């Protein structure tokens, strides 16, 4: 696998929001010529989510993931609670929600996004070993971008839990 450096970034995932995970999973398996993937309810405990700066909890989304050579095709059916995925489905119907890009340094990459007039993430999730965020890049790139960073986030994660840190402190 390609090692991510400050000079390179890799697309690791394409997420498609679907209205019926069972149907989407069956159809993609048939098209790809592989067995259907296991459908899981996400998100696991241990991830802190913030949307538009407010804490949020998403436990009723369903997902099936296909590992395809160098990236994952993720099918995601939003749950009943308000979420970025449910908002997308209601506004656009089924479709590509995001490309996910893995970066070495979120702060440097955010500056790259700022250089093309992209604002800060509107949604971010933290876990002890990293973070992911959603950035509205539709005007600049034609789609939503998920930015993932695998790093030691334990101090920030604990700071968020005890109130000594705020979302996106690592970008300041």
What residues in the chain have per-residue pLDDT under 50? 1-6
CB 21 within 8 A of CB 64: yes
pTM of the model as a whole: 0.85
pLDDT at 8: 57
Res 1: pLDDT: 41
Measured CA to CA, the distance from residue 50 to residue 37 in angstroms comes to 28
Domains recognised in the chain with CATH numbers: 10-171 (3.10.180.10)
Rg (the chain; Cα; Å): 16
Pairwise CA distance, residues 24 & 26, whole Å: 5
Residue-wise pLDDT for 50-59, tens only, equals 888 888 877 7
The CA-CA-CA angle for residues 139, 143, 144, to 5°, reads 105
Q: Which token pair is 57?
A: 């909890």
Residue 108, Ramachandran bin (φ over 0: left; ψ between -120 and 50: alpha; else beta): alpha
Residue 30, CA distances (Å) to 22, 100, 149 in order: 12, 24, 32
Q: Write down the pLDDT at residue 119.
A: 94
pLDDT score at 54: 85
The predicted-structure confidence for 124-161, as pLDDT tens digits, reads as follows: 988 888 899 999 999 999 999 999 998 888 898 889 88
């Amino acid at each position: 696998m390609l090692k991510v450096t400050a000079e390179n970034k890799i697309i690791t995932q394409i997420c498609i929001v679907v209205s019926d995970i069972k149907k989407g999973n069956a159809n993609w398996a048939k098209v790809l010529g592989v067995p259907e993937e296991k459908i899981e309810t996400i998100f696991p405990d241990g991830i802190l989510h913030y949307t538009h700066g407010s804490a949020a909890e998403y436990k009723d989304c369903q997902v099936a993931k296909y590992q395809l050579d160098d990236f994952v095709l993720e099918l995601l059916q939003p749950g009943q609670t308000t979420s970025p995925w449910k908002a997308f489905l209601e506004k656009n119907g089924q479709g590509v929600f995001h490309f996910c890009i893995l970066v070495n340094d979120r702060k440097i990459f955010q500056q790259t996004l700022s250089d093309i007039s992209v604002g800060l993430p509107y949604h971010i999730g933290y876990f002890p070993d990293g973070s992911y965020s959603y950035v509205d890049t539709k005007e600049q790139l034609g789609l939503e971008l998920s930015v993932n960073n695998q790093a030691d986030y334990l101090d920030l994660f604990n700071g968020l839990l005890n109130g000594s840190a705020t979302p996106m402190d690592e970008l300041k």
